[in-house]
Amino acid sequence: MTDAAEVGQNEPMAWPIDRIISELQERHDRDPGAATLFPDQSDIERWTGSDTQKEYALYNDIATALARGFHAGELSFEFCDGVANGLFTTATASRPLNPDLPWPDLFFRVFQAFDAGEYHIPEDRTDDPVTEHTKPAIAAIVASFGE
């Protein structure tokens, strides 16, 4: 098992998380749903100062901010889902390049919570997947923070 200090978890990001979320929110506000909202590898490198050892912490820190912001009603489902999707795509694409880095488990749980809100279960689409699946999952994740 990899020690947290070995993967940069205890070192500060090149950019503070609130600044990253603000940048992503500005992109979303300019053009909701646009592909430019989604963070890509160039964003990850810029936000971590190109230090791949900090990527694990970055993914989990962004996931924490998304979960808290959505749970508090400060960030929309569409915004959080878009960011989580973009980060998931970037994380999976970069895995072959950095196979020794641990998978960001908290990020993956948050991604799955938002992903669950994308899909209607009944064919008639009478359910509300965000209310029925995403909100309870995010509430449980935020509760796990122990705050």
- Give residue 137's domain range: 4-144
Tokens of 63: 């996931």
**pLDDT one-digit tens code per residue, 68-124:** 999 999 999 999 999 999 999 988 887 666 677 778 899 999 999 999 998 887 777
pTM metric for this prediction: 0.84
pLDDT digits (tens, 9 = 90+) for 55-69: 889 999 999 999 999
d(CA 58, CA 41): 12
pLDDT of residue 97: 66
Number of domain units in the chain: 1
Residue 10 scores a pLDDT above 70: no
Query: What mean pLDDT is reported for the chain?
Result: 85
Whether 77 and 130 have beta carbons less than 8 Å apart is answered as yes
| Chain segment 104-118, per-residue pLDDT in tens | 899 999 999 999 998
Query: What is the residue-wise DSSP string for 40-81?
Result: -HHHHHHHHTT-GGGHHHHHHHHHHHHHHHHHTTSS-HHHHH
Give pLDDT, residue 94: 75
DSSP assigned state of 102 = P
As given in the structure block, the two tokens for residue 6 are 């070995």
